Structures are given as structure tokens and as C-alpha cells.
């Protein structure tokens, strides 16, 4: 005869295993979407790579670290007053 407690334990274990499988499956899909950057596990010091050349205004490029597409909004032709002036505005401090 099967006891009620053994059925509960079995159901609980099935639930836990299903949850683990779901988490592992979702983690593997997230890792595939990330950048193809190399992970180094040694203690070496590596120089920062050179910055990519910037496209003109409204041009797009792919960030080499994170693999995301970035659009440049302005460039030097848009004027000399395109800067950060947050220190002059008290609402931004």
C-alpha cells in the first residue's frame, strides 16, 4: 500500500526537478543571446581595446563589449553647444 506521505514526497520531487529544468533551459537561452566575448580566468592584465570609429550623426554601430546596437544622435556638425550642463541646473544635482 502506498502512503499519502510518499505520494506527497514524490510529487514535491517532480515539482523541484521540473523547476530546475525550466531554470536551466531559460539560462541557456539567455547565455546564447549575450556577447561572444571571451572570459579569461587567469590573473593577467590586458589593455583596453581601441574604441571603434564613430559613425556620422544618426549612424549606427554594434558595441563590441555587449553586442548591442547604438545610434549616434549628434556629431561635430550639430553645433558647439551640444554638451552636458547638468551642474548649472539645480533639478539635476
Q: Identify the pLDDT of residue 77.
A: 75
40 occurs within a structural domain: no
Q: Which of 78, 68, 67, 73 is nearest to 55 (CA)?
A: 73
When pLDDT is cut at 50, 70 and 90, the band that residue 90 belongs to is: low
18-71 pLDDT per residue, tens: 888 887 776 554 444 455 567 778 888 888 878 778 888 888 988 877 888 988
86 occurs within a structural domain: yes
80 occurs within a structural domain: yes
Block residue for cell numbers 561572444: 36
Q: Identify the pLDDT of residue 57.
A: 84
User: Which residues are within 8 A (CB) of 62 and not within 5 positions of it... i.e. 6 or more apart?
Assistant: 68, 69, 70
Q: Identify the pLDDT of residue 83.
A: 66
Question: Based on the domain organization, do 59 and 90 belong to the same domain?
Answer: yes
Q: For the chain, how big is the Rg over CA atoms in Å?
A: 26
Q: Identify the pLDDT of residue 79.
A: 67
Question: Based on the domain organization, do 25 and 62 belong to the same domain?
Answer: no
What residues make up the domain containing 7?
1-34
- Residue 60 host element (H or E): strand 60-62
- Which whole number is the average pLDDT over 62-86? 77
Question: Based on the domain organization, do 28 and 55 belong to the same domain?
Answer: no
Number of domains composing the chain: 2
Tell whether the model's pLDDT for residue 17 goes beyond 80.
Answer: yes
Q: Enter the C-alpha cell of residue 60.
A: 549606427
Amino acid at each position: 500500500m502506498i502512503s499519502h506521505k510518499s505520494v506527497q514526497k514524490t510529487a514535491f520531487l517532480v515539482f523541484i526537478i521540473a523547476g530546475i529544468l525550466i531554470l536551466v533551459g531559460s539560462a541557456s537561452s539567455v547565455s546564447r543571446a549575450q556577447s561572444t566575448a571571451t572570459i579569461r580566468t587567469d590573473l593577467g592584465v590586458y589593455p583596453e581595446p581601441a574604441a571603434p570609429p564613430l559613425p556620422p550623426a544618426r549612424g549606427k554601430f554594434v558595441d563590441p563589449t555587449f553586442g548591442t546596437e547604438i545610434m549616434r544622435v549628434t556629431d561635430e556638425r550639430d553645433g558647439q553647444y551640444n554638451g552636458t550642463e547638468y551642474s548649472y541646473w539645480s533639478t539635476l544635482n
